[in-house]
Amino acid sequence: MNVDLGYTYDDNVTLGRTHDEILWDQSLALDGSASHAFRIRDNLRLVATGLLRGEKFDRYNRLSNLSGGLEAEIQYRQSGAFDAITYAAFARGWLDNYASHLRDGSHYSVGVRARGALTDRIELSGELAHNERHAQSEVWNVIDHSALLNLDYSLGDRGTLYLTGQYRRGDVVSDGHATLVNVSLAKVFVLDDAFPDQQWFAYRSGARTWISTVGYNLPLGHQASLDISWRRIQSTPTAHLNFDVQGSLRYVGNQYAIVLLKQF
Amino acid sequence: MALTRPIGWMFAVVAALMLAACGGGGSPGDVHPGTDPAVVPGEPNAFLQFPNPQVQPDGSLQTTSNAYAQAYYAAIDPNNTKDTLAKWKAANGFDTGTGAQLTVVFGDVRDLGFGRRITARQNIDGTLAFYTENYLVKTGGAYAFSPINLEAAIVRDPNALVYVAGIEFSPGPAGGISFAKYFNFNVATGARENMADVDGRGDKAMPGPCIVCHGGRADALTPPDASGNVHFNLLLNAVSGARGDVLGQLPPFEVSSFQFSDKPGYTRAEQEPMLKAMNKWVLCSYPLPKPSTFPEDACRRAASAGEWQGTAAELIKAAYGGDGLPNSTYVEPAAPASWTGAGQTSLYAMVVAPACRVCHQLRGTGRQSDIDFTSYEKFQSYANRIFATVTNRGDMPLAKLVYDTFHASPGEAALADYLVALGLPARDAGGAVLRPGRPIGDPGPDRVVRNGATPLSASNSLFADTYVWSIVSGPNGALPPKDATIMNANSAQPTFNATTDGTYVLSLVASKGAVRSEPKLLSLVVQTALTPDPSVIRFADIKAALQDGKECQGCHAPASALHPPIAFTNYDRDGDGGITPTDDAWFYAEVRSRINFTEIAASPLLQKPSGHHHFGGLGEGFDTTLAPGQPGRAKYDLFQNWILNGAPR
């Protein structure tokens, strides 16, 4: 069983495009997961994991949420050799309950993964997934496809450095004013109940999104660690606007996180 | 075993979340861009249509038909020299470097809700042309103005360009006096289009959605000529003498009702000079009722007695400080003196200025101008019609946006109080303002009939789908009535049958769902000796009444110095050199054109001779203060029974 307690500072919690649409916030999150492996054959097993997550935001409390889910993953490893690759197929479903009821709903992912060691210090993993989310408002009925590549570099007792790059193609949700650009990009929008004093609209649009993460995991004894990471999110709308737009259409956000991980 | 318990807890939490989350299905607040505003069945939806849409024998509305637009364009552009936007612009001298040309961009907050980019020009010969790119970002919600529309007009977002309108003020195909012509062009191809969907509530035939507010008239088309072609009607009081001159005008730019951007180049301060110049050009298109020495009037031709007198000029002048237009910026004018003198300034400010004036100031003629509402007395003379159209029918205010704004404003209550004070029931028993959309029974007008079977109709009832007819009283108030029956009394088309002469009072209750109308009473005067039998009245009988040498023809003749709107004499209407049966068919169409089959009592053919807003006053035989069947209203009864029978030729 794993329990993680994390703090995140997000400089663009709205995934806003222009400076007057960008809000920052900080949050505390508590994650818990418990797994159980079922052996099927010597090199094939099923891992079932229960997931629970609570997140409390500081400035915009209606973004706070409680989610719970289940993941099932079938893992296959050709052999016990050091450089043997582990292949996996997974399905994961969450139920989401937000203080902003428009966001209430569920989300799930299905995909495949592969993981293997390149050297005794470097481990590489990759993932392809289909992701869907369904919510009270259609704005958060989001579908995307993602490809992820992760590289872990072990520093031995001093921990692990990791780099993650993820590409997502599909829907993103942003918040902003009811401007021509935003409405033109939007597939659907709604007055967002997470920012009740702002009269802001949340809108779903198609985008190409790059998420890059660099992090460092510092062991704290055998069953605990401290993880520090910086994640950069950049979305570029796929819709083509037939008029000149001042400034960029990109949405950029940065998340800085520090997480205490504890295994029981 | 150590893992089993936490997983069990997690399942329990997931189950609880499942109950709490329950996502999917969409929120009522979700908006899908690109969708048109919803049209709610059963609610008023006769916006931007003429009160008399020219109902044809088959029930179709001629003024919304393709044929109507085709005939219009054929009249103003017989050789199709302006059948694309490019050709139209070239014909009007756009971008030639001659004359003067201006472009303004603003939000039309009040009337149609568009972001508008208007390019206007005044040519050296005095002709004018304006083309308007109308931008509407369809957000799927209520039909309303949004600053986004103004943004779209500024950046010229092609996805938000909903229609391009062109108006020119120039001579007709045969030359002569300039008049306004209206065009609609496809936003993608630039091709001229017969139909325009101005408010997302369906296509309407050109020039209808333009001229309905720009002072235009919508008479019926002519029957086919010798070549089989139908034509736009020739309006006798059009000074140009041209088919296609619908008496439409150029409306003033009421700058105080616009929204402007704060973007450089598009601010109000930057655009005021151009808007003033454009208002001066508009002023040039208005006839001048009396000589003037002011420079802004030098370009105006003298008004003839019978035509519209350029009433809207007073608004433009007042907005810029009066004669001479001394002020550089437009300021909403104060209420005219008549309104102030009557103590009705607030009624003007809350009702007339925002909801009536933009269209009504362009209406009326030199002989009969009550409908322009420029004075309180004129407005009051239309109180009954205002009650009918605003409180009951919901076809006024004319545009959906103005209608919505009006009914959400204090003006609605102010108008209701005004009408109640005049004895018109604009509030219900509980004091609530009555709004259109409730069922209202219309059994048709009181009338004289013969004994025997008399068809009745509730088809002009409003917002209703079921009907209950009953006989309230018989001759001399007999209760219960004798010698009379109603067949199919729960239908829209029942048959009344009386065997004894006298006055019968019937009642009609119309319903929409569980909502019932107030009973509407109908008096039927049964006269066995009535001649002619209503079922055999034909146009020949009507023509004979119009041409009986007493009153009508004296003014209603093509050569009359009074320039009436219609002639009731026989003349060469189709211009083929002789008076033929074809002319009689055209005559019939013109007379039928004066019938409003959607509200029979409002037909000009009945209203005018009975002394309502008629320069000629009350005609002999049209005294509607008398009961049906009285000799003093014999002609009215004749006309009305002909109309009730479908006005057959």
pLDDT of B15 strictly over 80: no
Query: What's the ipTM?
Result: 0.88
For residue A62, give the CATH number of its domain. 2.40.160.40
Question: With an 8 Å Cβ cutoff, are A96 and B139 in contact?
Answer: no
pLDDT band at B395 (very low <50, low <70, confident <90, very high): very high
| 8 A C-beta contact, residue B441 and residue B464 | yes
Query: Which structural domain, as residue segments, surrounds residue A113?
Result: 2-16+36-263
CATH code linked to domain B447-526: 2.60.40.10
Instruction: pLDDT band for B20, please (50, 70, 90 cuts).
Output: very low
Give the one of A52, A105, A184 whose C-beta lies nearest to B23's C-beta.
Answer: A105
For the beta carbon of residue A40, count every other beta carbon within 10 angstroms: 12
Say which of B4, B16, B157 has its CB closest to residue A180: B157
Tell me how far apart the alpha carbons of residues A91 and B402 are, in angstroms, rounded to a whole number: 54
Per the domain annotation, does A30 fall within a domain?
no
pLDDT digits (tens, 9 = 90+) for B508-562: 999 999 999 999 999 999 999 999 999 999 999 999 999 987 678 888 998 888 8
b/e burial code for range B291-308 (CB count within 10 A of at least 16 → b): eeeeebbeebeebbebbb
| Closest C-alpha to B274, from B257, B295, B253 | B253
Q: Which residue of B has its CA nearest to A2?
A: B6
Q: State the smallest CA–CA distance between residue B155 and chain A in angstroms.
A: 6
A179:B148 CB<8 A: yes
B10 vs A52, A138, A243: nearest CB: A52
Instruction: Please state, for a pLDDT cut of 70, what percent of chain B lies above it.
Output: 96
Whether A188 and B31 lie within 8 Å, measured CB to CB: yes
Residues of A in contact with B10 (CB under 8 A): 32, 34, 50-52, 68, 70
pLDDT in tens, B295-328: 999 999 999 988 999 999 999 999 999 999 999 9
Whether residue B483 has pLDDT greater than 90: no
In this structure, are residues A30 and A54 in contact, taking their beta carbons and an 8 Å threshold? yes
Nearest to B21 among A48, A106, A184 (CB): A106
Give A195-230 pLDDT, tens digit per residue: 888 889 999 999 999 999 999 999 998 899 999 999
What residues of A are in contact with residue B29 (Cβ under 8 Å)?
Answer: 102, 137, 190-191
Q: Give residue B1's pLDDT band: very low, low, confident or very high (50, 70, 90).
A: very low
Contact B157 A67 (CB under 8 A): no
Confirm whether A23 is domain-assigned.
no
| Calpha distance A6→A58 (Å, rounded) | 13
Into how many domains does chain A fold?
A: 1
Closest CA to A164 of A202, A98, A213: A213
Asked, as a colleague might, if the bond just before B336 is cis with ω within 30 of 0, I would say no
Binary contact (B17, A95; C-beta < 8 A): yes
CA-based R_g, chain A, Å: 20
- Domain-embedded: residue A96: yes
| Regions of chain A where pLDDT drops below 70 | none
C-alpha to C-alpha distance for B279 and B318, rounded to whole angstroms: 12
| pLDDT above 80 (res B595) | yes
pLDDT above 90 for B371: yes
User: Which two three-digit tokens encode residue A4?
Assistant: 């993680």
Point out the residue among B10, B152, B155 whose CB comes nearest to the CB of A34.
B10
Q: What is the pLDDT of residue A83?
A: 87
Domain boundaries, chain B: 62-272, 337-436, 447-526, 534-644
Asked whether the beta carbons of B641 and B530 are under 8 A apart, the reply is no
pLDDT tens readout for residues B220-235 = 999 999 889 999 999 9
DSSP codes of every residue in B144-178: ---HHHHHHHHHT-GGGEEEEEEEEEEEETTEEEE
Nearest to B23 among A135, A186, A187 (CB): A135
Q: What are the percentages of helix, strand and coil residues in chain A, rounded to 5?
A: 10, 65, 25
- The mean pLDDT value of chain B amounts to 93
Nearest CA in chain B to A177: B148
Counting one residue from A and one from B, how many pairs have CB atoms under 8 Å apart?
122
3-state secondary structure of A109: strand
Can you give the pLDDT at residue B631?
A: 95
Residue B11 contacts A where some CB pair is shorter than 8 Å: yes
Record: contact A95-B14, CB cut-off 8 A? yes
Q: How confident is the model at residue B28 (pLDDT cuts 50, 70, 90)?
A: confident
Do A34 and B7 make contact, defined as CB atoms within 8 angstroms? yes
Answer whether residue A31 is part of any domain: no
B12 pLDDT band (50/70/90 cuts)? low
Residue B197 has pLDDT above 70, yes or no: yes
